[in-house]
Amino acid sequence: MHTIRSVACALLVATAACAGGARADGSAIDGQGRCLAIPAGRYQTGLLFNPDGMQTYYDRARCWQELAVVMRDAQLCARVVQRRSWFLDGSAYSPGACRKRVSEQVRRDIVAATRLQAPQQLRDVAVERDNNGRDFSVRVRTVGGDGMSLRLTLSIVDASGREHLLQSQSQSMTRNPEEVLVFIPADLLARTSGARMDQPVHLRATLEREFASPDDRAVDAHVPEMPLRSSVETEFVPAALQRVVMRP
């Protein structure tokens, strides 16, 4: 058991869909800014010991190509300019090479998607008095699925149905379903709920898969329909909760 203590497509066509999800968080825009900031004429050359195709290249072209692969966006490959030299090979940074690398990355994403399991789902949630007799512990139990890359969010729901965030943080589970014990200070619960300790409090727990990087989102774009989010709720009166005896 974990205890948390806190104060508080055709391949090239498919790339467009993947890149669309990645653009939503601004990472593509930031990346384009970095590439545009590189002087167009700056280059590397004389790299005789580099692999074939990488002996000379423009720094900006390399930036655009790497961004195209990260974003799975073959349209960015049009901005890759190959540097040509009599004796050095720069063909690894070119529009054609760029599109090939994007396609290869999308193929890897599709393979990874076939291996991805549905995340663990919430089974139930309960609130207990903490062993210190003052604060509270939220016990969350899960069932089935993959326990990695998850975010657990606890919220207080008021009479109008509006959520008030109590705690939200990344929470990796083990391979087998288990339970998580979340420590909640009494003053945090009181501030968040806005209710007296002798009044009912409605708690909602949500567990969902996190997509922290463009790679995560790109793989998810090829995953068959599966539940990525689950919620459970409970109602309790804080003052009525009894202290739970510490288990050996």
> pLDDT, tens digit, for every residue of 148-175?
778 899 999 998 999 999 999 887 766 6
Report which of residues 77 and 194 the model is more confident about: 77
Residue at a domain's end among 83, 115, 147: 115
Round to whole Å and give the CA distance between 85 and 55. Answer: 9
pLDDT value at residue 204: 95
pLDDT value at residue 119: 82
**Largest Cα–Cα distance in the chain?**
83
* Domain membership flag for residue 2: no
User: CATH no. for residue 216?
Assistant: 2.60.40.10
What is the pTM (predicted TM-score) of this model?
A: 0.60
Residue at a domain's end among 115, 134, 156: 115
* Domain membership flag for residue 246: no
40 CB contacts (<8 Å, ≥6 apart)?
58, 60, 81
pLDDT value at residue 202: 93
Q: Do 130 and 109 belong together in one domain? A: no
Round to whole Å and give the CA distance between 210 and 20. Answer: 17
Q: Do 110 and 131 belong together in one domain? A: no
Residue at a domain's end among 115, 145, 168: 115
> pLDDT, tens digit, for every residue of 15-66?
333 333 333 345 666 888 999 999 998 988 876 666 777 788 899 999 999 9
Q: Do 78 and 134 belong together in one domain? A: no
Q: Do 235 and 132 belong together in one domain? A: yes
Round to whole Å and give the CA distance between 154 and 200. Answer: 16
Asked if 145 and 120 touch (Cβ cutoff 8 Å), the reply is yes
Number of separate domains in the chain: 2
Mean pLDDT of 235-241: 89
Asked if 156 and 202 touch (Cβ cutoff 8 Å), the reply is yes
| Domain range for 228 | 121-239
pLDDT value at residue 53: 75
Q: Do 232 and 153 belong together in one domain? A: yes
pLDDT value at residue 6: 34
Inform me whether the pLDDT recorded for 225 exceeds 90. Answer: no
Structure tokens at 90: 């720069």
Q: Do 132 and 105 belong together in one domain? A: no
